[in-house]
């Protein structure tokens, strides 16, 4: 399973709100909802967040082996 918990921590550290993502960076509210639910998103979306937040992929998402 992919978890986006790191995204919310990184956003808080960088002082970027969901409102800012929607209004300033034109991220759709639907994408934010998908991330909140840990649903799949495209690599393009991950790349956009890395550019906006000036961070690495691991600052946005982590893989959790749910078979353990």
Q: Tell which wins on pLDDT, 67 or 48.
A: 48
Query: Which pLDDT value is given to residue 66?
Result: 83
Over residues 12-66, the pLDDT tens digits come to 999 999 999 999 999 999 999 999 999 999 999 999 999 999 999 999 999 999 8
One-character DSSP codes across 3-62: E-HHHHHHHHHHT--HHHHHHTT---HHHHHHHHTT----HHHHHHHHHHHT--GGGT-E
Q: What are phi and psi of 61, to 5 degrees?
A: -145, 155
Residue 2 pairs in a beta bridge with: 63
**Domains of the chain, earliest start first:** 2-63 (1.10.260.40)
User: Is there a contact between 1 and 64 (Cβ–Cβ < 8 Å)?
Assistant: yes
Q: Band the pLDDT of 68: cuts 50, 70, 90.
A: low
What is the value of pTM for the model shown? 0.87
Query: Which pLDDT value is given to residue 49?
Result: 97
């Amino acid at each position: 399973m992919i978890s986006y918990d790191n995204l919310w921590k990184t956003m808080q550290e960088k002082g970027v709100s969901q409102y800012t993502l929607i209004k300033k960076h034109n991220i759709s509210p639907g994408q934010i909802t998908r991330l909140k639910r840990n649903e799949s998103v495209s690599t393009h979306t991950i790349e956009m967040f890395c550019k906006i937040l000036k961070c690495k992929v691991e600052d946005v998402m982590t893989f959790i082996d749910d078979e353990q």
